[in-house]
Each structure stands twice: as C-alpha cells, then as structure tokens.
Amino acid sequence: MRHTYSLNEGWIFKKREVNLEKTTPKSVSEERINLPHTWNNEVNNSREEFSYQRTITLSENHKDDNLYLEFLGANSVCKVYLNDLFVGEHRGGYSAFRFDITELYDWDKENIVTVFVDNSQTKDVSPLNGDFTIYGGLYRSVNLICVGKDHFSLDYWGTDGIIIRSEVKEDKSGVVNLEVHTVCASDAAVNIKILDEGDHIIYSETIPSDQKNVAIELEGPNLWEGQESPYLYTLEATLQKNGTAVDQIKKTFGFRKCSLTPDRGFFLNDNHLRINGVAKHQDFEEVGNAVRNEHIEKDFELIREIGANAIRLSHYQHSQSVYDVCDKEGYVVWAEIPMMSLPDREGVLENAADQLTELILQNCHHPSICFWGIQNEIAMDGESLAMYQAVNTLNDRVRALLPTALTASANMYEVKNNSPLNFITDMVGYNLYFGWYYDSMQDLNAWIENFHTENPQVSLGISEYGADSNLAFHSDTPKVKDYSEEFQAVYHEQTYPIIKAKSYMWGSFVWNLFDFGSSVRNEGGTKGKNCKGLVTFDRNTKKDAFYYYKANWSAEPFIHICEKRFANRDKDTVDIKVYSNLKQVSLMINETDLGTVAGETVFSFENVRLQPGENKVRAYSGSYEDVASFNKVDAPDQSYIFVDPNPEINVKNWFTQERGEVDLFPSDAYSVLDTLGTLMENEEAWNVVKESAPDIAERSVPGAPVTLLWVANKMKNYFSEEAVKEINNKLIKITKS
C-alpha cells in the first residue's frame, strides 16, 4: 500500500541578494525554512528564480516501491533535480504535479532534492499579467509518495488516477462515470465501492485493472443541494493483486444537476438559486499565498457570517482543501484558470489548455464547482479573430473533458454587446465598475437593460463590482476616489439593489471579500494591495460594507452601527446609519430615546444632535444591539482626508500649464489620446510605444480599444506624468495620413 511522507520541513531556501552598487555579482544567502513558503511580502515583490534544497532518506522497506515527488503548488515555473540530475519541469503555478524519481534515487546515500522556482514574467505561462501579486515559492505542501509497482497512476495530469464525473439523469437516477488509470500487470483488478454519508456500502463491483472506463448507475441518490443539503458520497477504489490490496484511493463526490436560462438565471437540481456570491484570492496578509489551514478556516468563518451562497475562487486553481470545504458546506463555486491576457503568441494557448486540463481533471469530482471559467478580462488590450478562436478552443477543451459542465467567461466594460466573446461560453459575467472607474453608479442599470435587450439569449450576471476603501479615511459627504469607508458603503448600497432587481440574471459576485496583494498598486494611501475587500487583508476588521451584505443575505439576527471609525465629528448634527436584517431598529444617544425606524437592511436616523465631547450611541431591537461613540470636535479631523501624492495624469492640467506653447493633441497627428489599436496601425507611432513602453506594446493586440493615456492612468507605478508627456511629444510629431 502507498505511504505519503510530508517533506514540508527542513528546506534550505537560497536567494540572491541585490547589490545596489551593481559592481559585483549578487551574493547568495541561505535561510532554513519550512513549507508552505513564499519569498514575496509587502516589501519584497521579487519576480525571479530562487531555489529550495533538502535531503531525503528512505527506509529499505521502500526499495521495491515507485517513488514520486508531489508538489501541490509551486509558482510559476518549477524545475526539479535529484542529486544534480534533472527530474522534470512544470509550467503553471496553481495545480498539483508529480515527478517519478524511482530510477534516480540512490539507495546508498542521502539524496539531495533541489527545486528551482521562478515567478518571473514568461512568454507563455499564464497569468501574463493581472491586478494581483504573482507570488513565488513552494507555497503549498511537498510530499514523497512511495507506492508499489502496481498502483493507481500518479502521472496523469496531477490526478490520483481516479477521475469521477457524476451526473443526474432526467429520471433522477445518478450516474458515476469513472475513469481509472493504473500501472500494473494484467492479472490485477480494481474493486470499486460507493459509501453513503453513514459509511454504508451501497455499491460494490470488481473490474479488470485495464478497464479504463466504467459507468455506475444508482437509483434515486441523495442530491447535493448546496447549503440546503450538501450530501456527499465516498468512492473507494482498491487495486488488488492476487486478492491482496496493493493500493487504494478514497475521494468524496456528489450528484447534482446545474443549468441556466437567460431569462431566469441559475438552477441547481431544477430549483432556482440566485447567486449571492463573493470572490476571493488565496492570499493572506504577512503570509502571502503560503496559507495554512487556519487561514482557510478564517476565510470560511467570514463567508459563513456574511451569508453568501456562492464563491468565485479567483483567478486560478485553489487548494484541494478549499474545494473540499465548499463541497461540505454547500457553496456554489466558480473555478477558473489564470487566463488574464491572450495574445496571439506561440505557447500561450497551449499552456492555458494544459492548466485548464489540470484544473478539470484534478477537481471534477467536486460537486460544488458548477461554473468553469476559461478567461477573465482578456480584452484589456483589445480583441482579435485569433483571440476568439483561442477562447473557442478552451471552451471545446472543457466540453471534451466534462461534457455536462457549464463554461464561464468574465468580460470587462470595454467588451461591446455584440462581441463574439459574449457568445462562446454558457454563461457570461461582466466585471463592471460604474461609479468607481467610470460613469455613475446608476448608469449600471441602463447598461444591464441594454445588454439584455440586445442579447436576450445570453445568461448574464455580474462577475465583479466594487470600490476601494482605506479604513483611515472618512467623510460625511463621501465621493468617488476619496477612498473612504463611507463611499464604499454607499457604492454597494446603490449598486447591489440594481443587480438584485434583475430577475433574469444569474446573480453576482462581489469584488472582493478580502483586500488582497497587488504589487502593481500604489493608491488610496496603501501600496501593494487592492483594497476593494469588504474585510481587511489580515481578516481582523470587517468594513461597514460587509454588514450591508450580511443584512441582505444572512439569517443570523444582528445590528451594526456604521461609521464607528469616523469617530471625530465637527458638525453639530450627524446622520446615523444602521445595517440590520431585523424589521425595525431603535436608537438612543446619551440615554435619550430617538425613536424607532422600520425598514430593510438600511436604517437611517437623520439630524442627530451631538453634545460637546463623547456621545454614546446604542442601536437595538429586542435582545440585539450595537454601540458606538462619536466625539464632537471643533474642527474637521484632517487625518480622515485622503490627499493623493500621485494623482492621475490629467491632460487638462497640461493645457493650463503649457497653453500657447504647443498644440498638445493636434487632430492631424498621433497622441496619447489615441487608442492602442490606432497607434498600432502606424509603424512609426507604434515604434514610439514599443521603445517607451515595451511591456504594454508586447501585450497589445490589433484593434485594442483603450487609449494610451487610459493605460498610463491604470498603471501609475509604470508611468510618471513626465514620461507620458515625453511619449506624447514624440507622437505629435507623427502626422496622421
């Protein structure tokens, strides 16, 4: 039988130290570490190759076994050596993979494993870019598996050799389509058992070990019903040789049917289910993506509290333990590959297809995964025929591997209603930020209505929406880009009801449940983080907007007084806002009763007068209450006001500063106000872009609809105002034909 040994302890991590004078080569430092591990944190966003090394020694009892090194996650390109002999390479940072070291293991000495992990930018390994930190390292567990010569295959796309595809037929019977991969002699057999939640055997059959496929039909199985009843079965596959068990695999699965209609949304087992979802990345403050079970449990503690019924596990394959919790607790999951950019470049599509194959085959037994995402915002730099063909190829890959699956895409605002990207996958999500990046919050309503009118056959939902907030900033007149906690709350109060009112949509996923690492960001008073989370990066503080969704989704009674961190008030009167899922809320201030307000989710008490000094507020309904203190001060607290040290590049200021000197944007010449697609059409103009911004030029595709100025404002760390002016001055010398 197989034995699995953890190799998480006792690694030597080697990294090159930066030589600031650059007069000598980088020195190498060593550090003893345990896994999981990443070298990236808030002050170190290195994207390069580092190494891990340790020794392994096995008992002679395993001398006749096959030996495998198992990696559950190494970002992004991983090369493995044993005793300085090359073992193999894996290109992709989020899936499990293994290498057979049986022939390379030296039984006469300690064996040295050396692992080179590289999170540098590549030409082919997705994500090629993204608004999240590309952490490096051996950030999930590493194991040594010892298994007999006859065993379930460990070489097939990182799976354990047993692939379960379950389905529910029209007559409500369940079918388990089992794919079995073995490495063994022809006289071996595989015993298959299915156990219910009470560990009772409800099915048993023995098949020849060379029978790759078997279909098992069960009458009237208990269905996986999401949070209502997340019923799971266990499949136990035992490889037998001469009647003796030599290897065994156990895994849980469930029976459920998923479907969509463009006029009513999502159905689970023919029952309508509105997706009230949150999105999350896997990282956690101070540990990056090297999370442990306690971090995962903390995440789910908060997901339970907010009352969500679905999770978008963005933007890559998450750990098996996360999907396992989703199975057990009944969350509907959107799983996806890190396809953020899809240039027509050799190797990109092939690598994406490989990552998609790993995602599906390693995870298709999870009943929680109802949506399989194949791309996210790939039209950032424009669309092309090659892009459409590539997305179709990925969609076809899902169909071939999992015929009953629902495929999903997440498009961005710039993707027009009639784009082919809206008609490839079964469901379409749009990442929309009306009122944050563009237009007003109320414009979202017209956009959704127009899209549905023009594309009534498309199953539409909102896959992202949100606004950044920094808990240090506050305002009693919140406005866009003040980064205040109050604006984020208002944003969600105005945006979510628009989404909720559209009965034809499958639902939405809030972006994001947690603040997360983003090495490309420096805004809103924070660096290296995207702060659209409803909870802080360390999971210690729930922002006010968290309680807004809890009031909408959770059945757990509660009351929350908003704006507690906005404690110092200089106005004589304030409006006090309360979130609750109760039917009415009463308010007291300094022991004075201010009455009761009836309503749903948001309760407002207007023009509440403050006394000098501390004012104690109590909101209550029956046995439920919350308290807060507001301090009447003489002048506004300046620490609450965000002053942007790196404001967006504003071409209006250029006119003010340089009027009369030169026409900054002549109509007959190119400029930064032209789209990337327009600039690409002129060789001389495009050479300016390639020389000044090679990374942008490399990612762009013909017809890119965004302006160069828009990209510069999106990537403020990459472009200074002076750099953009310099590019513009070069472009305006090139006359349009």
Residues 557-598 pLDDT 10s: 999 999 999 999 999 999 999 999 999 999 999 999 999 999
Q: What order of strands is seen across the sheet that includes strand 265-268?
A: 258-261, 265-268, 271-272
Residue 710's pLDDT is 80
Residues above pLDDT 70, as percent of the chain? 96
Count Cβ atoms within 10 A of the Cβ of residue 190 and give its class: 0-12 exposed, 13-18 middle, 19 or more buried. buried
The residue ranges of DSSP E strands in 57-157, in sequence order, are 66-71, 77-82, 85-91, 97-100, 111-118, 142-147, 151-152
Cα angle: 466, vertex 471, 476; to 5 degrees: 85
Residue 18 pLDDT exceeds 50: no
Strands (E), 310-467: 310-313, 332-336, 369-376, 406-412, 427-431, 459-464
Residue 547 confidence (pLDDT) above 60: yes
Q: Check pLDDT > 50 for residue 658.
A: no
Q: Give yes or no for residue 50 having a pLDDT over 70.
A: yes
User: Which of the four pLDDT bands, split at 50, 70 and 90, describes residue 708?
Assistant: confident
The phi-psi region of residue 214 (left if phi > 0; otherwise alpha if psi is between -120 and 50; otherwise beta) is beta
Tell me what the mean pLDDT of segment 334-347 comes to: 93
Query: Which residues have C-beta within 8 Å of that of residue 541, sequence separation ≥ 6?
Result: 471, 535
pLDDT in the model for residue 706:
79
SS3 216: strand
190: CB partners within 8 A, 6+ apart: 180, 182, 206, 207, 208, 209, 211, 237, 238, 239, 240
Question: Given pLDDT bands bounded at 50, 70 and 90, which one contains residue 25?
Answer: low
Distance CA 641, CA 568 (A): 12
Positions annotated as catalytic residues are 377
Band (pLDDT 50/70/90 cuts) for residue 20 is very low
pLDDT average, residue stretch 684-707: 84
The pTM score is 0.91
- Percentage of residues of the chain with pLDDT beyond 90: 84
Residue 339: count of CB within 10 angstroms of its CB:
29
> What SS3 state is found at 639?
helix
What angle, rounded to 10 degrees, do the helices at 683-692 and 721-731 form?
160
Q: Quick check: 489 and 548 in contact, CB under 8 A?
A: yes
Reported as a single tens digit per residue, the pLDDT across 140-182 is 999 999 999 999 999 999 999 999 999 999 999 999 999 999 9
At 574, list the tokens. 């304030």
CB 664 within 8 A of CB 655: yes
Structure tokens at 552: 């909408």
Question: CA separation (Å) from 15 to 26, 40, 56, 679?
Answer: 9, 12, 22, 41
Q: Which of 711, 708, 728 is nearest to 665 (CA)?
A: 728
Report which DSSP code applies to 716. T
pLDDT value of position 350: 97
DSSP classification of residue 421: G
Question: In this predicted structure, what is the pLDDT of residue 660?
Answer: 47
pLDDT at 661 over 60: no
Strand 624-632 to 592-598 pairing: unpaired
Region class of 645: left (phi > 0), else alpha (psi between -120 and 50), else beta: alpha
Q: What is the mean pLDDT of the chain?
A: 93
Q: Is the model's pLDDT at 251 over the cut of 90?
A: yes
Average pLDDT over residues 291-312: 98
CA–CA dist 256, 248 (Å, integer): 26
pLDDT band at 653; cut points 50, 70, 90? low
Tell me how far apart the alpha carbons of residues 261 and 504 are, in angstroms, rounded to a whole number.
8
Q: Which two tokens stand for residue 54?
A: 């340790």
Q: What is the pLDDT of residue 283?
A: 97
> Region 645-659: what's the mean pLDDT?
63
Q: What is the pLDDT of residue 78?
A: 98
* pLDDT over 70 (residue 735): yes
> Do 104 and 85 contact (CB within 8 A), yes or no?
yes
